[in-house]
Structure formats: C-alpha cells, structure tokens
Amino acid sequence: MKSQAVVFTAANAYEVMEVEIADLGTEDILVRTLWTAVSPGTERWTLRGKHIGTRFPCIPGYHRIGIVEAVGSSVSSHKIGDIVYGSSNKVMAPVINMFGAHIAHSVSAPGGYTILGHGDMDPALAEQVVFSILVAVGNRGVNALQVQPRQKMLHIGAGIVSLSAAQIAGLRGTYSVLIDTDSEHVAFVNKQFPDFLCLDGNDADLEAKLKAYAPDGFDILQDTVGVPAAIDRYVKFVRYQGTLLLQAQYFDLDHRAIDLDQIKIKELTIKTTCGTSATDTEEVRHLIQRGWLKVTPYITHRFTQENILEAYKLLDKNTEHNLGMVIDWRSFPSAESKALEKGF
C-alpha cells in the first residue's frame, strides 16, 4: 500500500513523497491522519541530522491525531471510526520513522494508538490535543520538581515546553518568569499570557528586573534551550539549595559543558527528565479538555496537507516568528477511495 508523507531525504532536505507502507494484517489497524503538529526542537534536530538515531530518508514527527478506517480480523481493542492519537506505522525500507507522524495513512499494531473518542472531534479541541506529547514534557518536569505553592520559577526559553510548565505549575500556586532572546517572541508571549512575565535576555536592565522579582533568588531554574552559556548566566539568580531542571536537547558534544562549580557552591539539586509517560499525556489532555491548560495561544501557523512544506521552510529557515504549527490533513482522501483510484 502507498501513502503520502513528509520525508527528510537528507540533512536539511525535505519533500512530500509517496512511500510504501505495509498491507493491513490481521492484527493491525489502518489510520487516516486528521491533524499533525510540528515539534520544533526534535524535528529541527532531526532535519539537521543531529538527533540521536537519525537516519535518512525518514518521516519526522510524533504529534498525530487520526481516525481508524480499517481493523484486522484479530483486533478487538479498536474499531472503525475511533479517533486515535499515535504515530506508529510500518513504513517500508529505505524510509524509516523519526518518529513517523507526518504521513497520510498508517498501518500498524493498535498498541501504539490511544483512543480519544469515536466519530467526529471538535477541531478547536483537536488542534490543542495534537500537541499532547510536547506539552506533557512540561508536565513531566513539573511533576519531577514536586512544585510547591508560592515558589518562583525562572524558565530559560519561552517555547511550548516552558509555557506549558509555567501554566501547569501555576495551577499549583507557583509564579513564573520566562526569558527569551527573541524580542518579537517576548512580545508575543506577554500578549498571549499576561499572567506571566516574559523578559528579553538582551535587556540591559534584566539583572535588576530579576532581582526585583525574586530578591531571595528563584526556587527553580528550568532550561529548555540547551545553551550552556545561558544556564551559567542564570544559575546565579537561583537561591541557595534551589533546583536546576534540565529539559533541553544536549546533542552538541563540543558545546554542552556547564559551570558545575557555581552549581556546587550553591548546593543546587539537578533534575532531568527525558520524554514523557502515558500518565503525563493523560494528565495534560485532562487539563486541556477542562479548559485549565491553554494550548491555542501557542499556535502561530496553521497549514493544510496541500501546503505542508511551508511549515518545514519555516522550521528550517526561521524566516518569520513561529511557535506552534498545526497541519490539517482532513482534505486527504480516505484509504478506500485511494485504493479505488490506484487499483490496490
């Protein structure tokens, strides 16, 4: 069976192309994609060829909502019409999955797909839920920190992970300051999230503003950027015996050393997380559905399946401000109609 997919053909090269996927087996499900979302950090690292395990050609992404269109004769857990979340698929060589979300159709065992509902899904809700995994990274960090009411958090980077952590921790009574070096993005965050303070890392008065906000030092410093010089710069604003949470990608082997001496002198606790768990994604979906966690304000761009490569041009070249990018695949024909059209 064939399907259209976004494929990174080599480092910094991408196209939409037809790929071969496995035929439906007795223990498989066929899923048609409805929405996907770009994970800017992971997918950019993959595009550059630097993410651990990257090989080309590959299908990127891990944010995907789809609908089950067929089930194998031995499948009882899923049924036709189920709305599901997952990116598992059996794509044929030479293409591999990294992690395979941006594809029109997939065939795989049902274990990689969480059922969200049956029938239709509200598009306004779907474009928030589709970011579940990335948002859940922020949730995992907050859970690891076991934050307490009235604690003050300083976030390096004001991307989706930091903004999600700030929102989730805020529900537990914390206060957040986010720092970003892109002045346009700083203005965007302050407009979208007026309850948080987002500061420009290039502001000449930054140090005074941070000290005024947290005279005794921040309780927690969260890094989502992975730039050692930034970590070193902001550690000094953490209180004695505070906590440093490392949640960025640290793939650059030549430029990832941080100043451990100042961390030691302050007796900071260092915590790390990697990925998410089913519990994390379940928790964030609950928060989104209840309206307590806002993901729509992250979205700066919406694309359809027809102009999906524009999303990757933005990811690659960063020609304009962007944060959350959602791709709507609903106009793509069903696998059944494609089969009639192509004769398979």
Give me the tens of pLDDT residue by residue for the chain, a chain 344 residues long: 999 999 999 999 999 999 999 999 999 999 999 999 999 989 999 999 999 899 999 999 999 999 999 999 999 999 999 999 999 999 999 999 999 999 999 999 999 999 999 999 999 999 999 999 999 999 999 999 999 999 999 999 999 999 999 999 999 999 999 999 999 999 999 999 999 999 999 999 999 999 999 999 999 999 999 999 999 999 999 999 999 999 998 877 777 789 999 999 999 999 999 999 999 999 999 999 999 999 999 999 999 989 999 999 999 999 999 999 999 999 877 765 454 344 32
Residue with tokens 């000290």: 211
Distance between CA atoms of 287 and 125, rounded to whole angstroms? 12
Radius of gyration of the chain (CA): 21
Distance between CA atoms of 131 and 126, rounded to whole angstroms? 9
Burial-class residue 316 by CB neighbours within 10 Å (0-12, 13-18, 19+): middle
Full set of structural domains in the chain with CATH: 2-131+295-342 (3.90.180.10), 136-272 (3.40.50.720)
Distance between CA atoms of 101 and 84, rounded to whole angstroms? 12
Q: What is the model's pLDDT at position 342?
A: 41
Q: Where are the beta strands (DSSP E) in 235-323?
A: 238-246, 269-272, 299-304
Residues 6+ positions from 261 with CB-CB distance below 8 Å: none
